[in-house]
Every structure is written in C-alpha cells, then in structure tokens.
Structure 1
Amino acid sequence: MFYLRAFSHSLVHALKNLFPIIAVVVFFQLVILQQIPENTLMMAAGLLIVAVGVALFLQGLELSIFPVGKSLSNQFARKGSVPVLLSFGFAMGFSAVVAEPALIAVAQQAEEISEGKIKALTLRILVAVSVGLVVALGVFRTIFGYPLHWFMIIGYIVVVIITWFAPPEIVGLAYDSGGVTTNIVTVPLIAALGIGLAASIRGRNPLLDGFGLVALAVMVPMITVQLYGIVVYSGETSDPTGLPILTQNGTADQTPVLLGMLLDLAGMLRDVLPIIITILFFQYLILRRGLTNPRKILFGFALVVLGLYAFVVGLKLGLFPIGTSMARQLMSMEGFVFVYLFAFMIGFATTMAEPALIAIGHQAEQAAAGTINGNAIRIIVAIGVAVGITLGVHRIISGDSIHHYIIGGYILVIILTALAPRYIIPLAYDLGGVTTSEVTVPLVTALGIGLASSIEGRNVLIDGFGLIAFASIFPIVTVMSYAIIVEMLAKQRKTDS
C-alpha cells in the first residue's frame, strides 16, 4: 500500500512536469495552427507512458540508488581516504551517466541519423568515462579547496579551441551530449556527493565548494565527443542534404513484438547494471558492510529497469512525434515568428517546472543563508533557457554555422566568469547543467531535427542537434549577469548612503 501511494505521488509529479509542454502544444495547435495533428491518440498514449515510466523510474531511484548512494558518500567522507573517494566519484559518475535516459535517447537518434557512423553505445561509454573522470576531479577540488573558476575558464578555453577544429557533423551532438549528462539520475547523486563532502570537511563552504560537480560533468563530455568526431569524420566530406531523419515508427525489422520487448528490457537491465555493480562492489568489498534492506533495494532496481523501458517506448510514441510534427506544421506557415514564439514558450514553461532546478535552487537558498532567492533564480534560469532555445532555432532557420554561436557563447561565459562574484560561479554553472529534463531533452531534440528536415539545404546531423547546448549556455549567462548587476547595485547603494 505504501509503494502504491508513493507511485501515485510520483505519477502526479511526472504529469505536472509534462503539463507545461502539453499546455504550450495545445495552445499552438488550437489557437495558432487551428488544426489537430494526425495520430493524436497515439501521441497522447505516448505521453502517458512517458509519465508512467518516469514515475516508476523515480520510485525505483528513491528505493534503491539514492539512499544507497548517499549512504556510501557519507561513509566514505567519514573514512577520509582520498584514493577511495576519487575511485567512488569516478564509479558513481560513470555508472549513473550510462543509465541516463536522455543520453540514451540522444545517442540512439545520433546513430540512426548518422547511418551508423556514430555508434550509440560508444558515444554513451565515452560520455560516461568523461563524467566519471570529471566527478573524480571535482571531488579532488572539493577536498583540497581549489577555486572552481580556474577549472571552468581553462576548460572552456579548451572547449572553444577544439570546437574550432571539430567537424560540423559532431559539434551540435557533442554539446548536446554534455547537456544531457546531468539529469534525472546524475544531478541528485553528484550534487549530494559534492555538498556532502563540503559540509563534512572543516573550512569548506557548501555554496563555494559543494556546487560545481554538475558543471564539470557538463563540460568534459563536450571535449571528448568532439575528439571522437574528429576521429570518426577524419578525411570525409559531408553531404549537406543526404542524411535521413529518424522515423516515428521505429525500425522496420521483422522481430516479433514479444521478443522485441524482451530484448528491449534486457537492454535496459544492461544500462542499469553498472550502477548495481558499482554499489555492490563498494558496499561489500571496500566498506565490507551489507546492504540494510536488500529486498527493498532489489525491488527498486526492478522499478528503475521497467521505468526506463516505459520511458523509451513513450518517447517513440509521444514526444518525438510531437516535436517533429510541431516543427513541420509551424514551418508550413508564412514567416518564422510563431516558430520563435513556440521555442521561447516551450523553453520557459518546461524549465519553470523542472524538478532538478527546483531542488538545486532550494539547496542554494539554504547554503547561501538568505543571499540567494530560489524563486528569482528559477525565473532567471527559465529566461536563459527560453532565449537560448530561441537563438538555437534561429541558427537552424538561418543556416549559420554552430561553431560561431557556440564559440561566441562560451567566450561570453568566460568573460562573465572573470567578472562575476565568486559565490555565484559554481551555482551558475550547475544551473546550466540541470535545465534540460528527461522530458524536455527528447522534445527539444525532436524540434531541432524536425526543423532541419523541413528546411531545404539543411543537414539533419549538422543542423538538427545543438538546441540543448544553447539551453545549457544561456542560463549560465543570465545567472552570472544577474549576480553582477545585484552586486553593482549593492555597491551603488553603499556609496549613496
């Protein structure tokens, strides 16, 4: 009975997160487009399956991964062994990202659109290794108290340099891969690890030293995926129009339905297995302690697998078709005003409902002891995401190179990092990593692919990806700009008085 109540609560929570998207889509369909799309019932069923999948997944996390992960973090922090803490940080970063639903969705899209040049599993392992290494680096930074801004400035200078040399086919995907690594699984685990460490070490500030792990986890995959693209596309010339787009009905193989479902479930189990192995290894072999409630934890892992499976099925039936359908319908209208309006509204609405953003804002408010207003931060971040997605849509429509936008955006971020007050920098970077939810990412990805496939002369792989990157850059800009303005006004008031 307890589990049923908890599941119903998670389902309502997931439906609330879907509601802003549904509201924006219904408004555009009925008021702007004045038509009902084909396969409406199938899309509605897909959205419901997504909600059920997210609810099962969240419930499974609450029963298994979250409590065990937090318990391990606290035990290792008390143990005080730096090599063990670094190893644990790497293992948790790697295992959480491999099972990230949004990364799975983006990787599958990339493999199909690139006709197999980019391998979904290779991409996911590469991103997971990157996040594992960078979480270990972040743990090292927290333990020894090194300031985050030097890591970020140097890191993004490297990102900008590699972007200049990377092939256009990989740039948008690389930045999207960085944007989706911090999501429904990783944000709570990574944030809890960083804040827990900072709180347990004398002389560390939870706001300055606890935040920042999420930001590092976003940055490094951008570098490694672009290097992967340089290897994959070395010596090739790109065809500007010849890439196919993802079909909405899945692949056309003749695998029996039941066998296909069993294979998909086995795939989901494979995705979650690294987390299970990591937890069992550190719990039994390093700490030499048993799990407190193994049956409940096992049940939680089963819910995680079922939730992931339902989530992916729902994506194919609901969110991907909605994104591509809306893009094509809006592109059929005269002018691009409503395309920009849809991009802005969907960015703002989904971000305001983003649970990870609400959680981080609340944690920041507590850590800052009244210096930061959580609600104000949410609005500023939502405006940043809305502006970023709108600008990304403009890039697709205009056909401009993503290199110039991304390089320009991160040069602006580097400049603001040098000017912003130190207390806001770790939080600003973390907020850039939590703005794209497990629901928003597939819809925004499908919107970009739908736009690129509807405009003559656009390459789906080059132009279709990248919207998530814009959604990650501009919240950093708006939050740091907000902090700079607040500090300037505070100084002005002191001068006047």
Structure 2
Amino acid sequence: MNFLHTLGHAARNLAPIVIVVVVFQMFVLQTVPEGVLSMAIGLVIVVFGVALFLQGLEMGIFPIGKNLSNALARRGSLILLMAFGFTLGFATVIAEPALIAVAEQAETISEGHIQGFILRLIVALSVGAVVALGILRTVLGHPLHWYILTGYVLVVLVTFFAPEEIVGLAYDSGGVTTNIVTVPLVAALGLGLAASLAGRNPLRDGFGLVALAVMVPMITVQLYGIVVFAGADIDGPAPGAGDGAAMDTDTDLPGAGEERHFLSAMGMDLLLMLRDVAPIIGVIVVFQYFVLRKHIPYLPRVLFGFALVVFGLYAFVVGLKLGLFPIGESMAEQLIANDRFVWVYLFAFAIGFATTMAEPALIAIGQKAEEAAKGSLKGSAIRILVALGVAVGITIGVHRILSGDSIHLYIMAGYVLVIVLTILAPKDIVALAFDLGGVTTSEVTVPLVTALGIGLATHLEGRNVLIDGFGLIAFASIFPIVTVMLYAIAVDLYERLIRKDRRDTA
C-alpha cells in the first residue's frame, strides 16, 4: 500500500505536465506528434522509476541519514559534523537524476568538450564543500545574508569573464543540484542543527544550506568552462543546429540479431547507476561502522531500499529518453514551425506554474517554513509565490532564446536584482527565499524544460545550442527568490505603516 501511495505521488507530480501538453496539442496545435506512443510509454516508465526511487529513499537512505545526523550531533564534534555534511552533499548530488540528465545533454551537445561525469564530479564536490561550510555557519551563528551577498557578487564577477558557451549550463547545474535526493536530507540537517543549538532561530538559521548548495556550483562550473573552452575552436554552426541531432531519442527496439548487444547495454547502464549510488552507500558504511561503530539496523530492509534506488534511477533515465526529452523538443519544434511565438511564451508560463505547484520538495519546504514561522507564513501562499516566480522566470528565459540576446546580460541583471533585494528584505526571510529558489525544479520538470530550451535553440536559425539551449533552469531558480523577497518587503512595509498609523492615532 505504501508503494501505491508513492506511485500516486509520482503520477500527481507528472500530471500537470501531461495536462499542459495535451491542452496545447489539442486546442492550439491541433495535431498528434510523431512517436506519441513511445512518448506515452516513456512517461509511464518515468512514473514507475520515480516511485521506485522514492520508495528506496524512504526504506534505505533517509532513515540511515537521519540516524547518522542525530548520532553525530549528539557526539558534539564539529569536525565530524562538517565531514558528514561534505560527504552527504557529495554523495547525494552525484546521484541526482536531474543533474545526470543535464550532464548527458551537455556532453552530447558540446561534442565532448564538456565531460558529463567530470561536470557532475565538480558540482558534487562543490555542494559537499558548501554543505560543510553551511554547517560551520550555523554552529558559529553567522548571518546567512553575508555569505549569500559575497557568493553572488563572485557569481556575477565570474559570469562577466566566463565564455558564453558555459554560462547557461553553469546556472542550470546549480539549479538542479537541490532536488529529489538532496533537498530532504540537506534541509533536515540544517533544521536539526538549528533546533539543537541554543540561541538559534529555525527560520533564520535552519534554512540556507540549500541556497548555498545552489550558488557555489555556478562559480565552479563557470571556472571549469573557462579552462575547457580556453583556445577551443567553438566557432561555426551549433552542434546539432537545424537537424535535431542534439537530442538523442532513438527508441528502436532491438531485432533478434541485436538482442545480445541490447542486453549488454542494459547491464552496463545498470552498473553505471550502481556507480552513481555507490558514494551514498560508501558514506553510510564509513560513518556507521568506522566512526559510530554501530551496526545498521534492519539491514535487509536497507539493502532492498538501495536496490530500489538503483533500479528506479535506471528506469527514470530510460523514461526520460523515451518520453520527456522528445516531448520538450516536439513542442518547441511544432510551436516554432507554426510561427506561434505567443503560444511559446504561454506554454513556458503554464509549464512553469503547473509543475511547480505540484513539486513535492517545495511542498515539504513550505510546510517546514510554516512550522518554523509559527503560522506567520502560510505554506500555500509560499507555493503560489514560488510558482509565479518560476513561470515568469522560464518565460523570460524563453524570450532570451527567441530574441537571441546574450545570457550574460540577463543573468547578471537578475542576480544584481537579487543582491539588492537581499539587502532590503527582512533578514528572517532571506535564507528561506534562497532555499525556495533551489527547490523549484522537480525531477520531471528539469528534463522537460531543458529539452524545451534545447529544442528552441535547435530549430531557430542562427542559434547555438550550447550557448542558447541552456539557461531556462537558471531563470526558474532566480525569480522565485525575487517574488518571495518582494512579498516579504511588501508585508514588512505594510506592517510598519499599520504600526505608524496606530501610534499616530493613539
């Protein structure tokens, strides 16, 4: 029964995407896309993959992670806590499905200039380091906004010097680090620390780890791009431009003579998934047996949970290639072919709003924020604000692709606005606002939105897929921060005016 609940949860998360796509296909485009059957099968596989993955997390990874966090906190060792934070951040991000999807696309489109596994390694190391830093900040009681302001000033400076081929990808890499695996573990670690330390405010000190985990990969991936593209020949037509080659969505089933090769490829893919989950297993084994020196309780259940994680991750990636990637590219191609650019904007807005409202990580963070704020913030209001921010952000990102404008200008302007709002906003809301910017893109939203951007850049004349195809996830992460902070500033100003009126009439 628990798995059926998880399966329904995964289906509900996918439902908004299906509804938006079906409505646009039936009432706007009035056509049936090619390969619709394989797309439908891919979506079903995605649902089952996500359900298996979530079930495995609940059975194996989350309970062990929570027990380890509590045990290490009780020991009172800052070094151990930081080491655990680093390894936890690294292990969860290296296995993040959305990051795997983006990295694979980046490697294909860049024609090998960007190595997918190296990209994931850089992002995972960055997140591990920043989670350790966030733990130190919480223990020392430093204000988060100074870390945030310093970090985003560095982000803007690095963006100014980074090659345009890496900017969109770098921001997208930061946006997808905090997702289905990372957010629950990292958020629980931060809130648990704030609750256990005297003089800490859960709303002000408990949030912020997710925000830092989004920020630092943006810097390190851009530095990686500076090295990779230094002196590289990147002129000429975009990889895959105009022919759809950027999206590898070959779904042919094997014939009798290819069965052995097909089965071998499946086995290799499963081994790769096991490699992706291995760091999480390693973290748990090392800290459980060599640091705490305790046996893992309910070991068979935990092992079964890890097996579900591996098979769920494998099914998820297969479903992406069959379903979500082709849908994003197909919608982009059809809307452009019909010269319906207004509908491109509306599709981007609808996808952004609908999928974010159903995002499970956002629902979880909204509930935690409501509890931490003791009712002064409503989880439902937070979700609407964030969904509007994502919808506006993706729409602006689509406009940038359609207009051919430089992503440098948009990204730098967006984060300058964020820096200004960080200075003006009530300090209790800063950490939450940045965390909300990091949990807006789900495991099903990221591949579709990435495919939409790549599809637009592929089918628009004069666009470079590597330069113009990435970046939509970045905009989806920036603008929720803006909407939440603007709301907090407006509420704070309104309350000040009410207090002033009361004093004047007293």
The CA distance in 1 between the partners of 2:133 and 2:431, in whole Å, is 14
Unaligned runs of 5+ in 1: none
Contact 2:251 / 2:322 at 8 angstroms: preserved in 1? Answer: no
Alpha-carbon offset, residue 250 of structure 1? 6.9
Instruction: Check if 1:249 corresponds to 2:242.
Output: no
Instruction: Check if 1:357 corresponds to 2:362.
Output: yes
Aligned match of 1:226: 222
Of residues 113, 135, 140 in structure 2, which corresponds to 1:139? 135
The CA distance in 1 between the partners of 2:360 and 2:13, in whole Å, is 8
Aligned match of 1:289: 294
Of residues 437, 441, 450 in structure 2, which corresponds to 1:432? 437
The CA distance in 1 between the partners of 2:174 and 2:372, in whole Å, is 26
When residues 361 and 312 of structure 1 are mapped into structure 2, their CA distance, relative to the original with a 3 A threshold, is: same
The CA distance in 2 between the partners of 1:302 and 1:267, in whole Å, is 13
Total equivalences in the alignment: 493
The CA distance in 2 between the partners of 1:285 and 1:206, in whole Å, is 31
Contact 2:38 / 2:251 at 8 angstroms: preserved in 1? Answer: no
Q: Secondary structure at the match of 1:146?
A: coil
Aligned match of 1:177: 173
Instruction: Check if 1:40 corresponds to 2:25.
Output: no
Alpha-carbon offset, residue 454 of structure 1? 0.8
Alpha-carbon offset, residue 8 of structure 1? 1.1
The two structures, once aligned, show a CA RMSD in angstroms of 1.2
Of residues 57, 61, 66 in structure 2, which corresponds to 1:65? 61
When residues 407 and 331 of structure 1 are mapped into structure 2, their CA distance, relative to the original with a 3 A threshold, is: same
Contact 1:47 / 1:318 at 8 angstroms: preserved in 2? Answer: yes
2:216 maps to a residue whose letter is V
Of residues 397, 411, 415 in structure 1, which corresponds to 2:416? 411
1:246 maps to a residue whose letter is M
Contact 1:183 / 1:434 at 8 angstroms: preserved in 2? Answer: yes
TM-score, with normalisation over the residues of structure 2? Answer: 0.96
Aligned match of 1:331: 336
1:139 maps to a residue whose letter is I
Aligned match of 2:75: 79
The CA distance in 2 between the partners of 1:423 and 1:240, in whole Å, is 49
Unaligned runs of 5+ in 2: 241-245
Instruction: Check if 1:213 corresponds to 2:218.
Output: no
Contact 2:105 / 2:247 at 8 angstroms: preserved in 1? Answer: yes
Please list every run of at least 4 consecutive aligned residues from structure 1 whose deviation after the TM superposition is greater than 3 angstroms.
Answer: 250-255
Aligned match of 2:279: 274
Contact 2:238 / 2:466 at 8 angstroms: preserved in 1? Answer: no
Instruction: Check if 1:191 corresponds to 2:187.
Output: yes
The CA distance in 2 between the partners of 1:439 and 1:139, in whole Å, is 30
Instruction: Check if 1:347 corresponds to 2:352.
Output: yes
Aligned match of 1:450: 455
When residues 260 and 460 of structure 1 are mapped into structure 2, their CA distance, relative to the original with a 3 A threshold, is: same
2:250 maps to a residue whose letter is N
Of residues 362, 381, 398 in structure 2, which corresponds to 1:393? 398
The CA distance in 2 between the partners of 1:124 and 1:188, in whole Å, is 20
The CA distance in 2 between the partners of 1:51 and 1:252, in whole Å, is 21
Alpha-carbon offset, residue 493 of structure 1? 1.2
1:170 maps to a residue whose letter is I
Contact 1:444 / 1:468 at 8 angstroms: preserved in 2? Answer: yes
Of residues 108, 111, 123 in structure 2, which corresponds to 1:115? 111
* Cα deviation digits, residues 378-400 of structure 1 (max 9, x gap): 00000000000000000000000
Alpha-carbon offset, residue 370 of structure 1? 1.3
Aligned match of 2:469: 464
* Cα deviation digits, residues 121-165 of structure 1 (max 9, x gap): 100000000000000000000111100000000000000000000
Aligned match of 1:309: 314
2:109 maps to a residue whose letter is I
The CA distance in 2 between the partners of 1:142 and 1:481, in whole Å, is 25
1:90 maps to a residue whose letter is F
1:248 maps to a residue whose letter is T
1:365 maps to a residue whose letter is E
Contact 2:238 / 2:463 at 8 angstroms: preserved in 1? Answer: no
Q: Secondary structure at the match of 1:249?
A: coil
Alpha-carbon offset, residue 236 of structure 1? 2.7
Of residues 14, 25, 29 in structure 2, which corresponds to 1:29? 25
* Cα deviation digits, residues 309-341 of structure 1 (max 9, x gap): 000000000000000000000111234100000
Contact 1:91 / 1:278 at 8 angstroms: preserved in 2? Answer: yes
Contact 1:239 / 1:459 at 8 angstroms: preserved in 2? Answer: no
When residues 250 and 460 of structure 1 are mapped into structure 2, their CA distance, relative to the original with a 3 A threshold, is: farther
% same residue: 67
Aligned match of 2:50: 54
* Cα deviation digits, residues 225-249 of structure 1 (max 9, x gap): 0000000000234325231212211
1:388 maps to a residue whose letter is G
Of residues 90, 96, 101 in structure 1, which corresponds to 2:97? 101
Aligned match of 1:479: 484
